[in-house]
Amino acid sequence: MPQTNDRDAMRVALAEAWLAQDPDQETRDELAELLDGARRGDAEASAELADRFDHRLAFGTAGLRGAIAAGPNRMNRVLVSQAAAGLAAFLVERAAPGATPSVVIGYDGRKNSAVFARDSAEIMAGAGVRAILLPRLLPTPVLAFAVRHLDTSAGVMVTASHNPPNDNGYKVYLGDRDEGSQIVAPVDAEIAARIERVAATTTVPELPRGEFETADESVVDEYVRRTALVATAPSVQPRVVYTAMHGVGWETTARVIAEAGFEPPALVEEQISPDPDFPTVAFPNPEEPGAMDLSFARAREAGADLVIANDPDADRLAIAIPDETTPEGFRRLTGNEVGLLLGWQAARRVSDRSGDSGPTGTLACSIVSSPGLQAVARAYDLEFSATLTGFKWISRAPGLVFGFEEALGYLVNPETVRDKDGISAAVAFLSLAAELQASGRTVADHLDEFVMRFGCFASAQISLRVTDLSRIGEIMGRLRDAPPASVGGIRVERIEDLADGFGALPPSDVLRIVLEGGARVMVRPSGTEPKLKVYIDAVGDTGTLAERRTSASAAVAALEAGMQELTG
């Protein structure tokens, strides 16, 4: 008989209790098999059991996200049921005396998204919350819109965005005074405490379930109408290729594009319909190498002027333009390039609409996104706000008229959606491309115009993926304890540690290295993946177009090499 210690026996007992309350036959079967192996003394099964039951998937400002499997450290129906009950308890306790809190719930096309959403609606209704389920699988921006449009106390979107195929997630928004933004501290900890209380005291079969409502199509109709207003009526029609990356974006995007007066784009048919297996991409993220290869092939066939790609839940946008210097004939613009052009567009529109008092409003981006947006704000006498990463922060900037994050996230219509929205951003960029084409210019020309007006803001990023999370802490500690005097031969002027907060920024595990010549390096752990992320920015703002580009790119290359050495 294999020997087991007390900890092993405790894990087996926890797994057996989990198995007894799990309503999902698939996760029941795989956990039962894992338990059998652990009882037989199989070391691999025991290690897997430890990984699943020694920790709990953290509920934070990003909600929940993880691989679908049994156990508290995975995404499954037990964990989601506990989350729904905990969120419901928070909403009931937060409601005014005699008021009934409400929630609207959306879901995308990933594995188990629909069942997680339905479980949430039934459990929250059973807890005394008015629960409204969106009518079908829809993009995340529609759910973010619905929180405000339906004036609910909260919103839940079941999605893992652009994560690997077997992942899913649980994203939470708050209405009322939060105006449909994602949760931030300390609310995340307050909800997490109630979830853990449910998990410790109640099994899933004991959770009462109630009747929920299903929203009608008018929610989607109004999102489409409001989003189409982002565009101006086109006088020319750019040739466009579109991909949904196997996600839920196309149906809604098609309606918005038509409502805005644009002709239908050519489609990447292999990726246009929702498919939880994401068969044509290794990772369903337009930023990943190879993810847009089919888009480029379709664009060559169509002679396209523009490629538009959404990620699977359509809250992110990727843009590609013709480029004869690349083997594909097209290149994807960086998130910073798209963000700066959309920010410039937003600033011009605010200026055009302003009266004698002059333009008012705020352009905002995360601290790791291009500082070029601040140059745009300064040129148009607008306020500028640099926030912590995530649209939960960007969306809360006072007087916001536009916000972006370098990871392909853009908020172009804050009066409609208080989150990144890849559909409204797509129609805004399409409108910009049409305006440029009508005047005989291209997006590439417009990028050159930006450089000559504001400077060349070049960027690069290093993502250090780790298997041992302690390595991230070691690197951050080393940079704090022995800060470099120079990086890549460029002198360090100062290092700003955001661990205890900095200025108006709340505490965050981020280092900002400010270097001479206007360059900077940001270092932070990823909030959603086992990675250390390094963001590099430099500017060339004197000389000819070529000189500005050369200066900025040389500084970025030197800093990239230097940071590779420091983090290696």
Q: Which sequence positions are flagged as catalytic?
A: 161
How far is the first Cα of the chain from the last one, in angstroms, to the nearest whole number? 46
Task: Give the distance from CA 126 to its chain's centroid.
Answer: 31
Cα–Cα distance measured from residue 547 to residue 549, given in angstroms and rounded to the nearest whole number: 5
Coil vs helix vs strand at 110: coil
Omega of the bond leading into 525 within 30 degrees of 0 (cis): no
Full DSSP string of 294-340: HHHHHHHHHT-SEEEEE-TTSS-EEEEEE-TTSTTSEEEPPHHHHHH
Q: Which of 102, 111, 124, 86 is nearest to 169 (CA)?
A: 111
Tokens representing 285?
Answer: 């993220």
Tell me if 114 sits within 8 A of 224, measured CB to CB.
no
Tell me if 103 sits within 8 A of 91, measured CB to CB.
yes
Tokens representing 95?
Answer: 């409601």
As a whole number of Å, the CA-based R_g of the chain is: 24
Cα–Cα distance measured from residue 318 to residue 109, given in angstroms and rounded to the nearest whole number: 20
**Run of H or E residues at 107:** strand 102-107
Query: Cβ contacts of residue 201 below 8 Å, gap of 6+?
Result: none
